[in-house]
Chain A
């Protein structure tokens, strides 16, 4: 294995230009476990952890920006995030256990593009976007457009995730993150769910729903959102919302859970969320 350890972004771009097939390594919590299990590792690895200033939380007027190398521990403990983006804060606190949270990063959690990743559902309901940096400049891409298929992303060979930009949610919303795993610590989600809702007198004004481990990528539940938009929540509306959600989902059965269980559990999570809203 060839390992490159750039100490700044300029060096990273130079190495990236010469070795376009190199794998980017952040905290390593996903990749080293994969290498161990597959008994193989990539030929070329570029470690991002020596690059300074990729770990930060910045509060701007309309959004919060989080550097790609910010760890789950920092995200879970950060006061700004806890206050403005409580669902993200909570989702980060449910990842792994303390040592994993001290290593894993938000950028890695996104780039690894696991359907079971914990942060994406939370980020999806906040309408987060990614700042993707390359030698020719930065581009902003919605997280919902970043995931292209199972473990496939829109990241080009010459790019890396610089930061995550999260617009401030509207005031007076109700939001939640639920995760179902085998146990509370260390588990990879069988199903995860995030929701954000704002109601007024006429019914639901804003609703954003997202789920993990029920599709090849973490997804927004757009059809269900469209159905619920403007409606008053009644038992029959909630039941119809669940039917619509399940109509558009094709979760798989795998080592962690079955298709039936995942559908059943997700239906319960959506119902729980809408009942509490």
Chain B
């Protein structure tokens, strides 16, 4: 068993997990943070996107044990409580950007990462920022519109 002390969504957590656990498993199974989804499990779909020490990463490709004590992790449950997160949530609702909803947490994480690091937002930067996120309902246009709305461009 591995023991780690991480800051997750602003709160310090002492956790234990198996050596082979992925961050995705720790978040979902140990901490009950089930907003982070497992889609493909191999880095193709973006449903497990989280922000680790300020960088967008994939929970399914992140071995948990290599994240040292003090690592800062932000998941969809934490984003929901921020002002930007609330704005994105509202924009997704207003743009009808959610169909089945499975990809939505990942899409929101990628959007949050884009909008918190980038000032010059256009359709191209949005498409690049969300290029790692698949929506099987293929609602991409309304998702792009939601991101534009959240960015204040529309």
Q: Are A102 and B57 in contact (CB under 8 A)?
A: yes
Q: Are B65 and A36 in contact (CB under 8 A)?
A: no
Q: Are B56 and A47 in contact (CB under 8 A)?
A: no
The CA-CA distance from A32 to B41 in the complex, in Å, is 9
Which of the residues B42, B63, B128 comes within 8 Å of A37, measured between beta carbons? B42
- Decide yes or no whether B19 CB sits under 8 A from chain A: yes
Which of the residues B19, B61, B128 comes within 8 Å of A28, measured between beta carbons? B61
User: Beta-carbon contacts of A44-88 to B below 8 Å, as 1s and 0s?
Assistant: 010101100000000000000000000001000000000000000
- Decide yes or no whether B66 CB sits under 8 A from chain A: yes
Q: Are A103 and B68 in contact (CB under 8 A)?
A: no
Q: Are A99 and B46 in contact (CB under 8 A)?
A: yes
- Complex interface residues of chain A between 15 and 50 (CB less than 8 A to chain B): 25, 27-29, 32-33, 35-37, 41, 45, 47, 49-50
Which residues of chain B come closer than 8 Å to A3, judged between CB atoms? 2, 19-20, 63, 65-66
The CA-CA distance from A232 to B53 in the complex, in Å, is 53
Given contacts A28-B62, A32-B63, contact A186 B132 (CB under 8 A): yes
Given contacts A1-B19, A32-B22, contact A100 B43 (CB under 8 A): yes
Q: Are B20 and A98 in contact (CB under 8 A)?
A: no
Which residues of chain B come closer than 8 Å to A185, judged between CB atoms? 128, 131-132
Which residues of chain B come closer than 8 Å to A50, judged between CB atoms? 66, 68
The CA-CA distance from A2 to B131 in the complex, in Å, is 34
- Decide yes or no whether B129 CB sits under 8 A from chain A: yes
- Decide yes or no whether B55 CB sits under 8 A from chain A: yes
* A-B pairs, 10 with minimum CB distance: A97-B132, A185-B131, A33-B42, A47-B66, A1-B20, A32-B61, A97-B131, A102-B55, A3-B65, A99-B56
Which residues on B are within 8 Å of A, measured CB to CB?
Answer: 2, 19-20, 22, 41-44, 46, 49, 55-58, 60-63, 65-66, 68, 110, 113, 128-129, 131-133
Q: Tell me the interface secondary structure of chain A in the complex.
A: mixed
Which of the residues B19, B43, B65 comes within 8 Å of A96, measured between beta carbons? B43
Q: Are A186 and B131 in contact (CB under 8 A)?
A: yes
Q: Are B132 and A96 in contact (CB under 8 A)?
A: yes
- Decide yes or no whether A184 CB sits under 8 A from chain B: yes
The CA-CA distance from A186 to B132 in the complex, in Å, is 6
A-B CB contact pairs (8 Å), 28 listed: A1-B19, A3-B20, A25-B63, A25-B66, A28-B63, A28-B66, A29-B43, A29-B58, A32-B43, A32-B60, A32-B61, A33-B42, A33-B61, A36-B42, A37-B42, A96-B43, A97-B132, A97-B133, A98-B56, A98-B129, A98-B132, A99-B57, A99-B58, A100-B58, A102-B55, A103-B57, A103-B61, A185-B128
Apart from A98-B110, A186-B44, what are 8 other A-B pairs with CB-CB below 8 Å? A3-B66, A28-B62, A33-B61, A98-B132, A99-B46, A99-B58, A100-B132, A186-B43
Which residues of chain B come closer than 8 Å to A102, judged between CB atoms? 55-57
Which residues of chain B come closer than 8 Å to A33, judged between CB atoms? 41-43, 61
